[in-house]
Structure formats: structure tokens, C-alpha cells
Structure 1
Amino acid sequence: MARPVERAPGEQRGVRRVGIADLGSNTARLVVFEYEPGAWFRLVDAVREPVRLGAGLARAGRLDPAAVGRALAAVELFEDYGAAVGLDALEILATSAVRDAVNSEDVLAPIRRAGYSVRVLSGEEEAELGVLAVANSFTATDGWVMDLGGGSAQVSRMRARAYGGGRAYPLGAVRLTEQLLFGDPPAAGEIAALERLAARELGAVAAEIRRSGLPLFAMGGTIRNLARIDQRLRAYPLPVLHGYRLARPALDAVIDELGSLPLQQRRWVSGLRPDRGDIILAGALVFRWLMEAAGLDEVRVSGVGLREGAFFRGFLPAPHHVEDVRAFAVRNLARRYPQPAAHVRQVMRLADRLFAALAPLHGLGPADRSLLAAACELHDIGVALDYYRHDRHGLYILMSAALPGFEHSELALLSLLVRYHRKGAPRIGAYRGLLAAEDEGRLRCLTACLRTAESLERSRAGRVRDVAVDLDAEAIRLTLTAGEEPAVELWEVRQHADLFAAAFGGRRLEAEARVL
């Protein structure tokens, strides 16, 4: 059993550390979350073991003894890890393979004898957790969620961010490979047989998806690996899978490449985990059939799944939803890289004042205002690494963060705002493939607002109480209201006149203070 937690000096009291283990048909995984209930969380570790528990199950209806041995060895590994690091709790979940096998007790009994509880999820419970994970990681309130694992595929309806029904289909990647794909590479007739089975199983729900016109969110190792392959083929500039849009033509191209290679070459395709080389085609073909039949141009890739859904049930009270996905994501990241709260509030307030006053010049809308607020809240996160070059450190942190609720184009723009919040001529650079030509102008205007607000708070003493803006054809005049002469703030603002000129039609920047 997990022993009591011993916190390192300086660690926060009230912070919990829990592990959630998932015994899947292909892979056993342990994820570890550190969190303060209802406030913030972070993933701090993950352990993965490809146990292939569902091997032979479709044919025999029983778990193979060797597969059981691999699964129990993985659980022992997870238990040892939990004891070593002092988890507050370890939750073990079992899914399709254990659920469907007549000899499931071969796995369950030894785990229970070791003193651990293990919960076998029904197909509906598994689907509910997947929907909960999507509801807390995307801004959509309605849609479809597909979780394709090793033994089965769940397709669920999300209605108003809640589970709205669904079912499990016998279309897992391990199951289908063992049943239908024998060639190396698979023959055309084998692929056709798999597609006929997909049509038989998914035909009705594909028609429902087509009629609804709603997006499909896809989770599981198969879709993550397919998306990663596509990203490598495209030289995609963001190292982020969550929220990635995998287009149908791109999936076709990936399948063409995978389907042309024998297994030993397929295992080493860039972006693909080698242990998935033998089963990746089966899952890819199911996704392709469903996208074509449902009239979907793309699927939205989810980097979260049932493990995160299970975590949210303990992290938040019922109905286990964060109120605002984007706002929570920003706040959650900010808590991991602490900044002086008063300084952040002041920068946010002043930047918003500037954005509103400069609206006749920039013409930007509510979405840009929201993005600016997020950049203000996160602008100094790089200081957690080091003050020098903290703008670049912040760029790296954000570019590596799967920030829930944000499109990848928004994440790129947000990261660039943090990068240029203190110096440098804003430019899109390597992220041009994610952003449109007009985004360069957006970046300059938003950076001007953020950098000026940061300059007005240069002493971090809150001396600038307000800023008034006067516009004409030649100049932008800032009048600062302060309780004492804000000499350093005025000096800092004037350093960035070139940015204002570039952002706002060549107008010169003038600044003065009114001391009350």
C-alpha cells in the first residue's frame, strides 16, 4: 500500500499526489497528478508498459496466461512506484480486456490479495470518463467522442458537456489485427474485410454523426500516434498533440505510407511508437471509414482520456466540470510558475485600458482582448527558470504546453506575445504555417498593449493608477495618473516608441504624467 507522503521542505501543505492506473487491452499506464482540490493540478509522472493484455482474447474469450503475467508485473511496478514516492492514493481501473474475459479473476484476484482495489469499468462508465475529459479540455459543449483502444472503440454523444449516451463496439486495434490483418503488409482483401466490419458496426452511428453536423473528438493511443506521424510529415512547429486537427486527406496519406511498409519498417516510422507498429493500421482504417461515412473533414485529437476523466471526478465536485476551460487552463499554468499577483493584476488592468482606447486604430475584437488578458496573466512565467531571457523561457513553456481550450493558432500567438512582451520586433517567424498573414499585424498591436502595460508597471510598485489615451493622425499621447512622479515608468514607455509606430500606422508615441 502507498505509505504516507513525506513532503520536501517548502512544498505546499494541502497538496495531494494521486496515481491512476489503467489496465488497457494494449497498454498498462500509470499517471500521477499533484493537485490542490478544486484549485490547480499538474501531471508529474507517467509510466507506460505495453502488456498486450487483450492478445488472443477475441479468438479464445480468455486472457492468455502470458498476457496476465505481463499485466500483473506492470501492476507490481505501479505499486512499487506508489510506495516509493508516497502516493496519497492509487486507483486501478480495468477496461475492455478484463471486462470481456471469462477468466478476468486471473488478473483481479492477485491485485486484490495485494491489498489494492481495482475497478472494472463498464463500457458506459469508460465512455462517461472520456466525455468528462473532453468537456474539461475543449470549449465545445456538444459533439461526439471516440475512444479507440486495443479491445474496443467507444463512441459517445456529448450534450451540454455531459455524457449523452453511446456504446462500445468490438473494433479495438489489437482485436481487429488478430482477427483480420494477417499479411505483412496487409493485403487489399484483408483491408476490405475490416472496412466491411466497420461499416456493419458503425453504420448507424456514422449516419447520426453526419446528421448532427457536430465535431468528433478522438482519444487513445491510435489517434495520438497517427496525429504525431502527420505532424512529423508536415514538420509541424508545435510539439503539442492535444487539440490537433487531423484532416481526412492527411490520414489517407499516413495510411498509404503505413500500408506500404512491412512490419519491421513500419515500426520505425517517425512519430510512431515501435510497439504499436503491428496494430496501428487497424485503428487507422476504422477512423478513416468513420470519417468518410460521417462526412467529417477532420477529427480533433484529444491528449486526455479516461485516466484524466477519473482524476477530474476526484479533483472537482459534481458535475466535475471546470467552469471556464480556457480561464482555468491559464490560471492552472500560472499557478505552476508563480508570479507576483499584484503585478499581474496591474499589467492586466492597464493592458485592457490600452486595448480599449486604441480600438479605433487596431479594430480587434473580443477574442483578441481575451488573448491579451491571457498573455498578461502568463507574461512572466519564464522567470521561474531565470530572469535573464525569461521572455524566451516563457515562449518555450507555452509552446510545450497543451493549453486546453486554445486552438493551436491561438497558442502560437499567445506564446509569441509572451516572447515579445519586453523587447524585440514582433514577428511570426517559424510559426507562419499556423498563422495567417494578417496575424503579424495582430501580434504587433497586442504586443504594443502588453509591453506598454508592463512598462507602466516597471517599478512593480503600482504607481500608475490610470492611463488616458489621446489619438490623432500623427501621434498617440499617453497621460499617466500617478500618486508620485513615475520617472522609471515614463523612461521605460519611451523606449518602445518604435513598436507603437510599427503597430499603429507610423504614429509617434508621447507620454507624460499627472501627479495627484
Structure 2
Amino acid sequence: MSSLAHDPSTLHALVDMGSNGIRFSITDLSAPTARTTPTLYQSRAGISLYDAQYPASSHGERQPIDAATIGAVVAAFRGFKRACADFCVPEANVTILATEATRTAVNGAEFMGAIKGAVGWEVQLLAKGEEGRVGAMGVASSLPGVKGLVMDLGGGSTQLSWLVKDSEGVRMPEAGAASLPYGAAALTRRLGEAEGRGSEAVRELEREVREAVRGAYEGLGVPEGLTRAAEAEGGFTLYLSGGGFRGWGYVLMSRHRVKPYPIPVINGFKVSRKDFLRTDVVQQAAAAALEADDGSDDIFRISDRRAGQVPAVAFLVGALSQALPQVKEVRFCQGGVREGYLFSNLPPEIQAQHPLVVATQPFDIRGTSSRMTDLLLSAFPPGSTSGAQDDYKATFDRDHLHAFANLMYYHSSHSKDLQATSALRSTTSGALAGVHGILHESRALLGLLLCARWGGSVPPSDEAFKRNLEQIVESGWTLWWINYVGAVAGLVAEVYPAGFVAEDEARLRVQAAWDRDEKGRPALALKLSFGDGVSVATLGKLIKGVEKVGKKKRWIGGKDGSGHRVDVSVECGGLGA
């Protein structure tokens, strides 16, 4: 994509100089998609500043960053400076952030001076607490809402904090986070040294890490309200970021019950406490990947370096299971220093936006999808569903339906052979694949909704992929409502072929209510009222399609499965001008 397509004043270049690698990126923070911090350019220099300071010959003694490493870093920065010039990024919008490895380097000043001398950019050192705060904001950027404990596992250190992100904003400890010297690379080194001294040394390290984590948690001052909510819900949600934890997540993804797991991005991936603590399974998988010479046991997105750090991460996970309070589930996040720094500088009203709505807004060409969303919402019977087995209102909320409405017409230009299958993959390898901040459940839901909007029939090559997405959704009730909403959307799109709902035009009104069939079972009564200019005769097949979703043979799991009877009534010419 050419930089000429973007306003240079909204472009921000950022360098995240961590312990295991240096990440370069250019981000466009223009409206309306700033909330999702869209990346225009990214690259990574696989230079480990931690390894440079602890070479094998050092016997565990920190060494200055050597001249060869400094030269490689300077060369990488010069390349990025050229990229910034190509994209026309203003010098004032370039930020370099350095963390643990640079902060504690014996010759840190010399190292940072070499960078400035080569490219003219100052390096900002993040203090321990600030590094944790920025990391927590990276997690906040990664999901629509956050409520729980947060850990960021870098190469040299680990940050622990609590975080709440909701409609009231983002809240965390004033100090940002507790910083512990147990990064993936650092712990790998220390664990290797302990194993060399014997089992008692390993147990001593276990006690040290466990007590350090417990003490860090106690010092965070977790709000009582957050603790009470966790107790009521069966435990905290633990949000994890950083390369070491993401590596752990990718191994768990490769061993997931859904095979193959259909969503490749780690951000938004969720596992239960039980699955997270499968340390033996994860270590066996990583070991097999390291030993295989033919690549047969390779794990997606797991390098040999990450696989080699898995035992140390397993060691840390074991300590977490004993030192932290009850954890119900674990959510993996892609957001790190880059996302956290950029997100921190966005206005609160932009931080509060739902990433799925923001990401799909550019596809609302006529700017009327909000009214289309109202029409789709009216296809659901009124009343609360909280606590019900079929809690459809918790899933099909306004944000998800708004995103769906934004994309309802996106695949109109595709041939009929491609519409349903392209729509199905739009959230994993299509238009929304690279969007930051979306849950896996939302990717699955929206992909299936869009597929259903185009009839739901996919070629044999995509049938297994569709079934795997359905397993991410899990609930049979949700799958039935997806088919229902898709059928309604297909009808609505035929009535409004350009997606335009004029303020003074009345073509269709939708009203839904619960009724009872002849045996007293719940039935969904859907009333469709059409305006004078609508030829209802041409819509018969689509109207029948909505009713067919309610046939028992179309229920999820068959006649005794999940579904509702749908009775459609039609009123013509009753809306007026």
C-alpha cells in the first residue's frame, strides 16, 4: 500500500527494543480506525540484547553489549529510517522505546548513543513500573473489554498487574505493575544453572519465584470489587502477553480439541485453567518440535528459540498456579509495548470504541448501517434473556450486529460461487484478518453470520473449516440464531439492494414476538410489513427461507436439538410513504 494513500500527520513510527528482538512498525492513527492501531509496515530484527549480555562464555556474568551486536542494531535502525522516509513519517512522530535489556546494560549509554549517532533518534528508557503500565495498556488495546489480572512475559522480566477496561475507561494500579526478574530468557538461564547444581537448587528457585509472584500480587492492591466479582464467577481471568506466553498459547492452540484450529492469530485465544496448566503436554510438543529434523513436528509460529524456552515458561506457569488466586480462564493477547504506547495516547472516547465496529466502519459506504442494525435488532423478540439457556441477546448485541450490518454488502461483487465461502473466511484470512482487538469467538460469530447471509452453502474444500468455526461458537442455540439472522439479512438486503435506508422511505418493518405453537411450546412470530413500492411476490423464496430455519430438521442437532419454530406473517402496503 502506498504511503501516498495516508495523511503523514497521522502516521506514527515506533520501535520496541526488547530483550529477545527489536520490532519496528509504522501505524496509521487516522479516523475512523485509530482504535485498532492499524499497522502499515512492520519488521523485526531477531537480535537478542539479552543473549548479547549473557553469552555462553560469560558463566552467568553480565557482559557489555558487544560491538558486533551494536553494529547489527545500528544497521537495522538505518533500514527503518529509510522506511520512515518512504512513508513520509514526520520526525516528530518517531518513538523508540527500550525495556529491561537496555535499561540494565553495563554500557547502555554507549549503546543508545550509537543509535542516536547513526539515525538522530533519542532512545526512551521505560522504567520498571512504566514498562508494566504500557504493557497493561497493550492488553487493554487487545480486547473489547478487560477485567482481571495481567502478566507480560518479556525476555528479561515479567510484569504483573490488575486491569479493568470498560465503559468507564481503563483502570490499573497507580504504580503500573510489579516487575519481576523472570523473563523467558532470564529464567531459561537461571533454570539451567539450577539444574546443573542439582534438584535442591531447582526447588529453591521454585520457592523464590513462587514467593516473589505471591508478594507481587499482594502488593498490587487488587480492588475488592474485582476480587468479589472473580469469586462470584469462579475465579479471575488472567490476560497474558509477551512472546514467551504467546509461544505457550500457540502450543496449546496446536493441541486444541478443535483440529485444526481455524483461527491463526493468537490475540483473543482463550483456554480454561485446566488446559493452561497442561505443562507436560506443552513441553512434550515443544521438545518434539526441537528434535524433529524434517519439520514434521513443527508448531505454527514457534521458533526453535521459543521452543527452547518452553521449559522455563512451564516453570513459571507452575509457580503462577500456586502463587496467584484462583484463575478461571486465560486469554492470550497480542498487544505489547507498541500497541500499549499508541493506545495510551488515544483520547478516552476512542479507547472506549468497540474494535469490531471500528474495523468494519469503512465498509459502511453510505453511512446508514446504524439504521440497518436497528432493523436487524427488531428481528429478535423483546425482553431479557439473562440467565436463560438460550441467552441470544448476550451474543447478538448491538456491536456485533452493527459490524455485521457494515459488512452485509461487502461480498456483493463476488460471483455466487464465492460469496458464502469468502464471507466465511473474511475474519480469519480476508478483510478483517489483520484487525487488532477481536476475540476469537467474535471472529467465528461474524464469519458464520456473513456466510449465512449469503445462503450458508460452501464448497467441500471449506466444509471442515466451517465446522471448526462452529465448534469455536460451541452453543447450538447460537448456531441456530446465526442461521436465522442470516436468512433475515438476506431478505433485508433484497429489499434494500444498495444498503441505503432513506429517512423518509418506508420499505420494510420487522416485528418479532414470542408465541406458542399448538403444543404450547415457544414459537417465534415474525411480522414483516412492506411498503407500497415493494413487490412482495418477488420475495417469496426469501420469506420462505426465514420460515425454513424454524423447521425441526433445520434445528442444530435435529428435532430434539436447539431451535425455534418460526411463523412469518406478511402485511403489504401498510407503512405509508
TM bin, normalised by shorter chain, reads: 0.7 to 0.9
Q: Deviations over 1:430-489 (max 9, x none)?
A: 32422123332222232233333223313545454441548775995644353x5122x7
2:284 corresponds to which residue? Answer: 257
2:418 matches 1:397: no
2:83 corresponds to which residue? Answer: 81
1:440 corresponds to which residue? Answer: 479
Deviation larger for 279-288 or 169-178:
279-288
2:534 corresponds to which residue? Answer: 486
Deviation larger for 13-22 or 380-389:
380-389
108, 111, 128: which is aligned to 2:112? 108
For structure 2, list consecutive stretches of 5 or more residues without a partner in the other structure: 55-59, 231-235, 519-523, 551-563
Number of equivalenced pairs: 501
Partner of 1:278: helix, strand, or coil? Answer: helix
2:238 matches 1:216: yes
- The structural deviation recorded for 1:306 is 1.3
2:334 matches 1:306: no
Inter-CA distance 284–30: structure 2 relative to 1 (3 Å threshold): farther
Query: CA contact under 8 A between 2:143 and 2:439: conserved in structure 1?
Result: no
2:236 matches 1:227: no
Inter-CA distance 121–459: structure 2 relative to 1 (3 Å threshold): closer
2:14 matches 1:25: no
1:134 corresponds to which residue? Answer: 139
- The structural deviation recorded for 1:47 is 0.6
Partner of 1:215: helix, strand, or coil? Answer: strand
Deviation larger for 274-283 or 221-230:
274-283
Inter-CA distance 186–32: structure 2 relative to 1 (3 Å threshold): farther
Partner of 1:228: helix, strand, or coil? Answer: helix
Inter-CA distance 120–16: structure 2 relative to 1 (3 Å threshold): same
How far apart, CA to CA, are the structure 2 residues paired with 1:301 and 1:242?
A: 6
How far apart, CA to CA, are the structure 2 residues paired with 1:134 and 1:180?
A: 28
Partner of 1:334: helix, strand, or coil? Answer: helix
2:292 matches 1:291: no
Q: Deviations over 1:53-86 (max 9, x none)?
A: 0126463334330433333333233223323333
2:561 corresponds to which residue? Answer: none
Deviation larger for 506-515 or 288-297:
506-515
- The structural deviation recorded for 1:241 is 1.1
Partner of 1:397: helix, strand, or coil? Answer: coil
Inter-CA distance 363–322: structure 2 relative to 1 (3 Å threshold): closer
Partner of 1:51: helix, strand, or coil? Answer: coil
2:393 corresponds to which residue? Answer: 365
2:44 corresponds to which residue? Answer: 48
Partner of 2:455: helix, strand, or coil? Answer: coil
- The structural deviation recorded for 1:274 is 2.5
2:311 matches 1:281: yes
Q: Deviations over 1:17-54 (max 9, x none)?
A: 22211111111111221231575341222211221101
Query: CA contact under 8 A between 1:444 and 1:502: conserved in structure 2?
Result: yes
How far apart, CA to CA, are the structure 2 residues paired with 1:439 and 1:350?
A: 19
Query: CA contact under 8 A between 2:10 and 2:28: conserved in structure 1?
Result: yes
Q: Which amino acid aligns with 2:402?
A: A
- Structure 2 matches for 1:407-422, cutoff 5 A? 407-422=439-454
2:102 corresponds to which residue? Answer: 98
1:69 corresponds to which residue? Answer: 71
How far apart, CA to CA, are the structure 2 residues paired with 1:221 and 1:486?
A: 56
How far apart, CA to CA, are the structure 2 residues paired with 1:320 and 1:121?
A: 26
118, 122, 138: which is aligned to 2:123? 118
**Sequence identity, in percent?**
20
- The structural deviation recorded for 1:155 is 1.0
Q: Deviations over 1:176-201 (max 9, x none)?
A: 22233269999867754542331242
Q: Which amino acid aligns with 2:365?
A: P
Inter-CA distance 493–305: structure 2 relative to 1 (3 Å threshold): farther
2:185 corresponds to which residue? Answer: 174
Q: Which amino acid aligns with 1:440?
A: L
How far apart, CA to CA, are the structure 2 residues paired with 1:187 and 1:409?
A: 45
Partner of 1:239: helix, strand, or coil? Answer: coil
TM-score (norm 2): 0.76
How far apart, CA to CA, are the structure 1 residues paired with 2:139 and 2:263?
A: 21
- The structural deviation recorded for 1:112 is 1.3
How far apart, CA to CA, are the structure 1 residues paired with 2:308 and 2:133?
A: 29
Deviation larger for 77-86 or 266-275:
266-275
Inter-CA distance 199–183: structure 2 relative to 1 (3 Å threshold): closer
How far apart, CA to CA, are the structure 2 residues paired with 1:94 and 1:131?
A: 16
- Structure 2 matches for 1:423-434, cutoff 5 A? 423-424=455-456, 429-434=467-472
Q: Which amino acid aligns with 2:105?
A: A
Inter-CA distance 456–259: structure 2 relative to 1 (3 Å threshold): closer
Query: CA contact under 8 A between 1:501 and 1:509: conserved in structure 2?
Result: no
Deviation larger for 25-34 or 41-50:
41-50
1:347 corresponds to which residue? Answer: 372
- The structural deviation recorded for 1:264 is 4.7
How far apart, CA to CA, are the structure 1 residues paired with 2:352 and 2:218?
A: 32
How far apart, CA to CA, are the structure 1 residues paired with 2:402 and 2:274?
A: 36
Query: CA contact under 8 A between 1:53 and 1:97: conserved in structure 2?
Result: yes
How far apart, CA to CA, are the structure 2 residues paired with 1:355 and 1:496?
A: 16
1:148 corresponds to which residue? Answer: 153
2:497 corresponds to which residue? Answer: 458
How far apart, CA to CA, are the structure 1 residues paired with 2:215 and 2:72?
A: 37
Query: CA contact under 8 A between 1:350 and 1:467: conserved in structure 2?
Result: yes
Deviation larger for 119-128 or 84-93:
84-93
Query: CA contact under 8 A between 1:403 and 1:411: conserved in structure 2?
Result: no
- The structural deviation recorded for 1:258 is 5.1
How far apart, CA to CA, are the structure 1 residues paired with 2:407 and 2:451?
A: 11
Deviation larger for 207-216 or 341-350:
207-216
How far apart, CA to CA, are the structure 1 residues paired with 2:50 and 2:391?
A: 57
How far apart, CA to CA, are the structure 2 residues paired with 1:466 and 1:68?
A: 67
Query: CA contact under 8 A between 1:382 and 1:392: conserved in structure 2?
Result: no
- The structural deviation recorded for 1:109 is 0.3
Q: Which amino acid aligns with 2:360?
A: A
